Every structure is written in C-alpha cells, then in structure tokens.
C-alpha cells in the first residue's frame, strides 16, 4: 500500500534497504533528512549519513503545486524511473544514477549531485557554466538518435512505445498547459497585468493557434524517440564545469525536436529576463554568453547527430544497405532531417516561451521580477520572439539570424 514519505518516517521505511543504507551509512535513526522538493509535482528528500548522501524522490497522488483538487496517478514515477534507466544507456554520465526503485511506493533513490545547483538559479545569478550548450546539445542528440528506429530495432522500439503509452496522465498536462492553455483564457492561466495588451493581441491570431495545434498534433502522434519531455533550466543541474540533466518525469515518445526546442526556450527566457537581474556593466557580456550557449546547443546537436548517423545507424530507418548497394550517400538525407528538426525545434521553442508567461507554470526568471511594469516589458519581448519563431521558423534556421532576432527584441 502506497504511503507518502515524511522526514519523520523515511529512515524507518528505507533504513533496511541495503542499496540505500550502505550509501548513506551510520544508524538510520541518526540520518539527516531534508525535504527539498521545490518542483511542481513530487516529494524530494536529501538523506545524509556517515558515508554519504542520496536523493529520494516519491510521487504524490496529486499535483503538488495545486493540491489534492488535482489528482495525478503515482504510476508516473515508474515512467520516470524507466526514462532514467534509458537515458543512462543512451547518454551516459548525464542523468543521475538510480540505486533503488520501489514500484508500489512510487519512489526511487538516486545519486546526490553535489555541489551542483539548479541551472535556472545560476542563470538568474549571472553565473557561467563551461560547455553548457555543448553538453545539452549532445544530450538531446544522443537521446533523440538512440531512442529512435535509427538505432533501436523495430521490435524493441515498438515495445518501448507500447510501455510508455501507459503513461496517459503526464502527456495530458503538456498537451493542455504547454500547447493549448496559453492561447485562450484557460481557467488556471495567469499573467502579469501590464502584459494584457500583448496577450490579447496574441490570442486574436487564428493563424498562430492553428500553427501551434499542428505542432501539438505532431507532439501527440509522432513517437519518433523517447523525450525527456520537460527539459527546462530547472531540470538541469550544474557546477561551473559539469552539467547534468534530472527529472524526466514528463518522458514520453515524441518528436526529436521537442527537447532541443524546450532547452533553447529556457536559455532565451534567461536572456530576456537579464535586464532585471544584472547591472548595466555586466549585462551585455552575460547576454552575449547566453546567445553563445544557444548557438553551441544547436551546433553540437547537429554535429553529434551526424556522428551517430555515420557510426551507429543500426535500426530500420535509412539502412546503410539501402544506400550503399548503389554507392549512394545518405549524408543528404541526414542534412534534410536535421533541417526539419531545427525548424520544429524553433517552433516548439516559441511555444515554451509563451506558456511560461501565460499558462499555469511560470518560471522564476520572470516571476522574481518584482517591478511588474519591468517584468511585463521583458515578458513582451519574450512573447513576441516566441510568436515569430512559431510563425516563421524558416527565417531563423540560420543561427546568426536567430541571435540577431533575439538582440532586436531585446532592444524593443
């Protein structure tokens, strides 16, 4: 029987589990246990003892940020665990290692990342992280490629899509909160009051709604690869030199471009919110660094994807035998696919930029700006750039054009 953990019950519940006790060490009754969950859904504990620390994550039967009025099945933790295991194989060294999984209790115990902190906070604080764009671009390429039928066998891929299709509650959240709610007056929406004229104008566009719904159609129907599903800057932890990706609780099979687009959107939101967080003398250089991160993210995605295309194409898609028999090259096919991914990533990016200021779940980059007039001014730049990316992604596939666009909106 499922029971939610508490700081007072955790040592008694997990003290007898060898995989946990041996890593924490000492008497379970003397473990230091802190609940640190600041996400929207789950309980998260850091448990420390004589030997070390672990993180314990448990799903609650409802959406934490809203309360028991919004029930959410705890089976979502199973899929998060399945996703972590797959990410460890497909992009080694990036996701936290899982030590223990308890299916009925919807909990797992994993590596404590230390001294890593949440990337969103680092970006708000104006900190730089070496190889950030490179690592995230490579992570997206490796998981996209190795989770698809470019790499997996057809039966393995179909079985995995079948397994993940049991996770119906979580995709439903993304389908409404990300793709639909921002574009009409949905009940849980909220936005900065001074942003209303921009929001009203945005919601008047039937062409925009139609474009976004087409992207939703792709998101729900296209099971190209296993996604992280929620790759925002709160799902990335980093030191100055190391980058890790956590929290794949929104994992599902979907289009290859989705994670890349989400990540870039969060870098752009960090970019647009900077004038509220930085002094003038640091602002320009720090914003320029964020644009470099975005460029690196895209270029390393492409480079890694091309490399895997050439070295690991073992699935049913674009088989080498099909091309090589007549001495054909499959390189052009790879370039065409990458162009399609870039286009869709830019459009998904625009949608994520919208939902974080218009729908239910906002982000601290903007939310912590107390001066609402300033917040609305910066959010407006973000909303308008998002709209441009959704409506005409072809114009910004060129990364210089993309950076110029961000700089232009930043001056508005």
Residues forming the site for ligand SR1 (CB under 6 A): 39-41, 63, 65, 173-174, 177, 230, 250, 360-361
Two tokens, residue 227:
């996604």
Residues of this chain that bind Mg ion (CB under 5 A): 39, 247
Q: Which does 168 bind (CB under 5 to 8 A by kind): ligand SR1, Mg ion, none?
A: none
Q: Which does 361 bind (CB under 5 to 8 A by kind): ligand SR1, Mg ion, none?
A: ligand SR1
Q: Return the residue nearest Mg ion (CB atom).
A: 247
Minimum CB distance to Mg ion, residue 249 (Å):
5
Q: Which does 134 bind (CB under 5 to 8 A by kind): Mg ion, ligand SR1, none?
A: none
Minimum CB distance to ligand SR1, residue 359 (Å):
8
Two tokens, residue 114:
């230390």
Distance CA 299, CA 289 (A): 15
Nearest to 265 by CA among 293, 237, 243: 293
Minimum CB distance to ligand SR1, residue 342 (Å):
23
Q: Which residue matches tokens 């942003």?
A: 195
Nearer to ligand SR1, 65 or 130 (CB): 65
Minimum CB distance to ligand SR1, residue 74 (Å):
15
Minimum CB distance to Mg ion, residue 110 (Å):
14
Q: Which does 212 bind (CB under 5 to 8 A by kind): Mg ion, ligand SR1, none?
A: none
Summary count for the chain: helices (H), strands (E)? 16, 12
Distance CA 40, CA 289 (A): 29
Minimum CB distance to ligand SR1, residue 118 (Å):
12
Q: Which does 177 bind (CB under 5 to 8 A by kind): ligand SR1, Mg ion, none?
A: ligand SR1
Maximum Cα interatomic distance, the chain, rounded to a whole number of Å: 69
Phi-psi region of 247 (alpha: psi -120 to 50; beta: other; left: phi over 0): left
Minimum CB distance to ligand SR1, residue 235 (Å):
7
Nearer to Mg ion, 231 or 351 (CB): 231
Strand arrangement, sheet containing 117-118:
117-118, 236-238, 243-245
Nearer to ligand SR1, 79 or 286 (CB): 79
Nearer to Mg ion, 160 or 247 (CB): 247
Minimum CB distance to ligand SR1, residue 17 (Å):
28
Nearer to ligand SR1, 150 or 245 (CB): 245
Minimum CB distance to ligand SR1, residue 361 (Å):
4
Nearer to Mg ion, 173 or 257 (CB): 173
Q: Which does 205 bind (CB under 5 to 8 A by kind): Mg ion, ligand SR1, none?
A: none
Distance CA 176, CA 178 (A): 6
Contacts 24+ apart (CB under 8 A), 312-319: 312/145, 312/146, 312/150, 312/151, 313/150, 313/151, 314/151, 314/153, 315/148, 315/149, 315/150, 315/151, 315/152, 315/153, 315/154, 315/157, 316/149, 316/153, 316/154, 317/148, 317/149, 317/150, 318/150
**Which residues are registered as beta bridge partners of 101?**
108
Q: Which does 195 bind (CB under 5 to 8 A by kind): Mg ion, ligand SR1, none?
A: none
How many of the other CB atoms lie within 10 Å of CB of 29? Answer: 8
Residues in the chain: 412
Nearer to Mg ion, 65 or 401 (CB): 65
Nearer to ligand SR1, 37 or 275 (CB): 37
Q: Which does 63 bind (CB under 5 to 8 A by kind): Mg ion, ligand SR1, none?
A: ligand SR1
Distance CA 345, CA 354 (A): 14
Nearer to Mg ion, 124 or 195 (CB): 124
Nearer to ligand SR1, 62 or 100 (CB): 62
Q: Which residue matches tokens 């439903």?
A: 172
Minimum CB distance to ligand SR1, residue 355 (Å):
8
Q: What is the DSSP letter of 39?
A: S
Phi, psi (deg, nearest 5) at residue 325: -55, -40
* CB distance 40 to 65 below 8 Å: yes
Two tokens, residue 31:
């473990």
Q: Which does 123 bind (CB under 5 to 8 A by kind): ligand SR1, Mg ion, none?
A: none
* CB distance 43 to 26 below 8 Å: no
Q: Which does 346 bind (CB under 5 to 8 A by kind): Mg ion, ligand SR1, none?
A: none
Distance CA 113, CA 78 (A): 21
């Amino acid at each position: 029987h499922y029971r939610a953990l508490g700081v007072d019950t955790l040592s008694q519940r997990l003290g007898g589990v060898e995989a946990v006790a041996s890593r924490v060490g000492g008497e379970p009754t003397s473990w230091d246990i802190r609940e640190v969950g600041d996400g929207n859904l789950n309980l998260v504990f850091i448990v420390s003892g004589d030997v070390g620390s672990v993180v314990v994550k448990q799903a609650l039967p409802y959406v934490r940020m809203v309360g028991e009025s919004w029930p959410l099945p705890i089976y979502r933790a199973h899929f998060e665990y399945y996703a972590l295991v797959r990410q460890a194989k497909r992009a080694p060294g990036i996701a936290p290692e899982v030590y223990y999984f308890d299916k009925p209790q919807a909990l797992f115990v994993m590596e404590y990342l230390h001294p890593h902190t949440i990337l969103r906070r680092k970006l708000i604080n104006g900190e730089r992280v070496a190889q950030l764009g490179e690592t995230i671009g490579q992570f997206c390429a490796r998981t996209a490629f190795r989770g698809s039928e470019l790499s997996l066998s057809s039966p393995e891929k179909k079985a995995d899509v079948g397994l993940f299709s049991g996770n119906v509650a979580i995709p439903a959240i993304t389908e409404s909160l990300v793709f639909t709610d921002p574009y009409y007056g949905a009940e849980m929406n909220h936005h900065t009051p001074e942003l209303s004229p921009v929001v009203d104008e945005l919601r008047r566009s039937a062409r925009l709604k139609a474009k976004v719904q087409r992207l939703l159609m792709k998101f729900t129907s296209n099971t190209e690869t296993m996604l992280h599903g929620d790759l925002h800057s709160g799902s990335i932890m980093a030191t100055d030199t190391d980058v890790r990706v956590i929290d794949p609780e929104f994992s599902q099979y979907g289009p290859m471009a989705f994670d890349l687009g989400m990540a870039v959107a969060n870098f752009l939101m960090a970019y647009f919110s900077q004038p509220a967080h930085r002094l003038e003398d640091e602002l320009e250089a720090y914003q320029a660094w964020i644009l470099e991160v975005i460029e690196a993210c895209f270029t390393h995605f492409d480079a890694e994807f091309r490399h895997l295309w050439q070295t690991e194409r073992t699935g049913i898609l674009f088989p080498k035998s099909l091309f090589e028999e007549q001495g054909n090259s499959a390189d052009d096919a790879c370039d065409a696919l990458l162009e399609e991914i870039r286009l869709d990533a830019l459009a998904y990016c625009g949608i994520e930029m919208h939902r974080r200021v218009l729908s239910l779940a906002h982000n601290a980059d903007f939310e912590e700006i107390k001066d609402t007039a300033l917040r609305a001014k910066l959010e407006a730049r973000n909303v308008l750039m998002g709209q441009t990316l959704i409506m005409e992604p072809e114009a910004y596939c060129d990364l210089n054009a993309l950076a110029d666009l961000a700089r232009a909106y930043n001056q508005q």
